[in-house]
């Protein structure tokens, strides 16, 4: 008799499973999916502004939405670079006993800098958002 | 390396658009005429990002035609009112909600059991107790009971974990503890997943050492000595026990079953990083696709649930960087 299996994969709603154990990943995935659609919409709006007399407020609102949606992407991209540069010794979840023996062979000296790098990038990005709000909206 | 080159615009846009937006913000403050160049570049960047990412997140073949998809909500909850049969000294009563897949109704069903546990009771102990004393029809998979075989992967309170390594009292909240099957692999019955698909993915990355010296490698006294540093380069990825928890945690696998998944990719890195392996670029080509390394969105959940510290997320990022390196070198 053939084995009958049942598939629960393949739906975007499965992303909500992350809420129970990895909120950071959930926000990252949610923002990424929203960004995909909105980046195309924003691109079209910006492009249309060359032909139609669109209000500046519309341009600025879309610019800010894209800026906000990029927050997790900017942080995760910087984190990914740190992970590659340190072979997972920073932000990785490598086996603890392996870490203790391999650190002297593989851990780069600049590991603390790589740990700070994504936070520095995130701080700069958030500072940009504050500046954006202050200069454009207030 | 075709897919690496095809993916370059997405990654360039992912980094380029924020840089251009920051430049646009600064230019609006200090040098407004620069906007005339920056805004068109941002528009192009947004289109490139949007359309390339769409190809990654919503691939054409993400949902195969004819594959049955069923509502995964709980349709029936039964409360077992039996008294706990075993009450050891210092035992506590815990409500365990067991969510199981019923293949005849093709629905998830939940039963709530009240069981007696002590501070050493694991989820596997509790499940075995239910099977022995409450409901002998319960199907589950287990073997070693000490986190080595990787058979007893389940989802406890929403988090994929090994039943034999998860303490009941530590995982019990106010409303008790919930145990359900993994969703990242196809379901068979109750808590049992089908792993045929899992092993197909594993085999697809050729998880064995390849040597060019075909004759010499079978000579009994042939040796391939390695330095400690060479061993450390692949060691963590060889700890994989193939429990499938990373696949269950991976949001990309959960939304796009065509993605090969973190387990297979970590094994690709394991053999690529091994100095004894000589498959080299061919090995990268096996995973250089949208269903391979480029499908990974770096959520990192796979590494967070791995019981052995294999860190598949790091392995995939290293594979990506290696693919880019080789694409630049050999282009």
Residue B282 φ/ψ, nearest 5 degrees: -60, -35
The span from the CA of B274 to the CA of B280, in Å, is 10
Q: Are A75 and A122 in contact (CB under 8 A)?
A: yes
Distances, alpha carbon B268 to alpha carbons B36, B191, B306, in Å: 46, 29, 17
Model pLDDT for residues B283-292, shown as the tens digit of each residue: 999 999 888 9
Length of chain B: 331
For helices B2-30 and A56-86, give the axis angle rounded to 10 degrees: 130
The residue assigned the tokens 């796979």 is B302
Q: Flag whether pLDDT at B66 surpasses 50.
A: no
* Residue of A9, A33, A77 lying closest to B254 (CB–CB): A9
Is the CB of residue B65 less than 8 Å away from at least one CB of chain A?
no
Neighbouring-strand partners of residue B187: A6, B193
CA B280 to chain centre: 24
Dihedral sign for Cα A37, A39, A45, A51, please: negative
Q: What count of Cα atoms within 13 Å lies in the side-chain half-sphere of residue A90?
A: 22
Q: Flag whether pLDDT at B57 surpasses 80.
A: no
Q: Label residue B58 by pLDDT band (50, 70, 90).
A: low
Tell me whether residues A22 and B233 touch, CB distance under 8 A.
no
For position B60, what pLDDT does the model report? 53
For position A110, what pLDDT does the model report? 83
Query: Which segments in chain A show pLDDT lower than 50?
Result: none
For position B68, what pLDDT does the model report? 36
Q: Flag whether pLDDT at B307 surpasses 90.
A: yes
pTM listed for this prediction: 0.87
For position B87, what pLDDT does the model report? 54
Is the CB of residue B178 less than 8 Å away from at least one CB of chain A?
no
Model pLDDT for residues B132-180, shown as the tens digit of each residue: 998 999 999 999 999 999 999 999 999 999 999 999 998 887 778 999 9
Model pLDDT for residues B249-286, shown as the tens digit of each residue: 999 999 988 899 999 999 999 999 999 999 988 999 99
Tokens of B70: 């069923």
The span from the CA of B17 to the CA of A39, in Å, is 10
* Residue of A18, A94, A124 lying closest to B301 (CB–CB): A18
Of B324, B224, B216, the residue nearest B274 (C-alpha): B224
Q: Label residue B236 by pLDDT band (50, 70, 90).
A: very high
Q: Nearest-CA distance from A55 to chain B in Å?
A: 16
């Amino acid at each position: 008799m053939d084995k009958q299996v049942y598939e629960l994969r393949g739906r975007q709603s499965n992303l909500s499973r992350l809420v129970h154990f990895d909120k950071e990943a959930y926000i990252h995935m949610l923002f990424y999916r929203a960004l995909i659609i909105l980046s195309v919409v924003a691109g079209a709006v910006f492009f249309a502004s060359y032909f139609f007399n669109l209000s500046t407020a519309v341009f600025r609102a879309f610019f800010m939405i894209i800026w906000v949606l990029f927050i997790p992407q900017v942080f995760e991209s910087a984190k990914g670079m740190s992970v590659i540069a340190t072979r997972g010794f920073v932000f990785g979840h490598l086996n603890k006993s392996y870490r203790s023996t391999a650190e002297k062979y593989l851990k780069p000296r600049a590991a603390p800098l790589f740990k700070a790098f994504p936070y520095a990038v995130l701080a700069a990005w958030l500072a940009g958002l504050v500046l954006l709000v202050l200069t454009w909206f207030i | 390396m075709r897919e690496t080159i095809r993916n370059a615009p997405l990654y360039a846009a992912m980094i380029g658009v924020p840089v251009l937006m920051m430049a646009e913000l600064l230019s609006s403050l200090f040098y407004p005429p620069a906007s005339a160049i920056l805004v068109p570049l941002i528009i192009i960047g947004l289109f490139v990002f949007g359309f390339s990412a769409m190809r990654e997140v919503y691939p054409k073949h993400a949902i195969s035609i004819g594959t049955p998809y069923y509502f995964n909500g709980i349709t029936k909850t039964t409360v077992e009112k039996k008294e706990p049969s075993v009450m050891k000294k210092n035992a506590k009563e815990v409500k365990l909600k067991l969510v199981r897949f019923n293949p005849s109704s093709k629905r998830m069903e939940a039963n709530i059991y009240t069981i007696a546990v002590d501070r050493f009771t694991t989820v596997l102990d509790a499940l075995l107790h239910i099977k022995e004393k409450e409901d002998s029809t319960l199907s589950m998979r287990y073997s070693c009971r000490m986190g080595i075989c990787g058979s007893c992967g389940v989802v406890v309170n929403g988090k994929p974990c090994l039943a034999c390594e998860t303490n009941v009292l530590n995982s019990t909240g106010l409303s008790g503890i919930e145990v359900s099957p993994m969703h990242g692999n196809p379901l068979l019955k109750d808590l049992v997943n089908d792993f045929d698909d899992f092993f197909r993915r594993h085999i697809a990355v050729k998880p064995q050492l390849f040597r060019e010296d075909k004759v010499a490698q079978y000579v009994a006294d042939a040796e391939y000595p390695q330095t400690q540093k060479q061993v450390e380069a692949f060691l963590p990825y060889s700890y994989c026990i193939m429990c499938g928890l990373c696949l269950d945690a991976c949001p990309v696998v959960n939304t796009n079953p065509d993605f090969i998944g973190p387990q297979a990719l970590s094994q690709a890195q394991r053999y690529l990083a091994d100095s004894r392996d000589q498959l080299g670029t061919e090995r990268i080509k096996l995973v250089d696709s949208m269903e391979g390394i480029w499908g990974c969105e770096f959520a990192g959940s796979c590494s967070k649930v791995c019981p052995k510290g294999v860190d598949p997320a790091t392995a995939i990022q290293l594979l990506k960087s290696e693919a880019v390196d080789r694409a630049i070198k050999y282009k």
